[in-house]
């Protein structure tokens, strides 16, 4: 399996599957299953039962479901979806855009 190089809060683009072309923020990375949860991607509607004790109103809730990491690509702010490269900058290992060399770390 490919190395998990996608991290929480990264912006990714979906390159395969039902939501191909969509772009969103990574909400969660699930390394055990090789999947990620991306905001507004692979949304499923769920019926929610009312639970007055927990202040939950019944109805339909929308929730993201995990998609395969291999189906997403990291997005560079200038180039769009890109492959990334690892580089050492100022003694730190960072992920950089393979095209323009900009670091993709959010700090």
The contact set with Zn ion (CB under 5 A) reads: 76, 78-79, 97, 99-100, 102
Nearer Cβ to Zn ion, position 65 or 102? 102
Helix (H, G, I), strand (E, B) or coil at 103: strand
Cα dihedral 78, 84, 87, 92 sign: positive
Nearer Cβ to Zn ion, position 41 or 76? 76
Residue 101 C-beta: closest distance to Zn ion, Å: 7
Residue 78 C-beta: closest distance to Zn ion, Å: 5
Nearer Cβ to Zn ion, position 36 or 82? 82
Phi, psi angle pair for 52, to nearest 5°: -60, -30
Q: Are 76 and 85 in contact (CB under 8 A)?
A: no
């Amino acid at each position: 399996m490919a190395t998990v190089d996608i991290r929480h809060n990264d912006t990714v683009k979906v390159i395969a599957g039902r939501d191909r072309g969509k772009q969103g923020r990574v909400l969660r990375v699930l390394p055990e299953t090789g999947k990620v949860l991306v905001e507004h991607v692979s949304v499923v509607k769920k019926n929610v039962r009312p639970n007055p004790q927990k202040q939950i109103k019944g109805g339909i809730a929308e929730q993201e479901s995990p998609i395969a990491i291999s189906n997403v690509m990291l997005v560079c702010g200038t180039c769009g979806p890109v492959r990334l490269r690892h580089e050492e900058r100022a003694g730190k290992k960072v992920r950089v855009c393979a095209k323009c060399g900009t670091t993709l770390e959010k700090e």
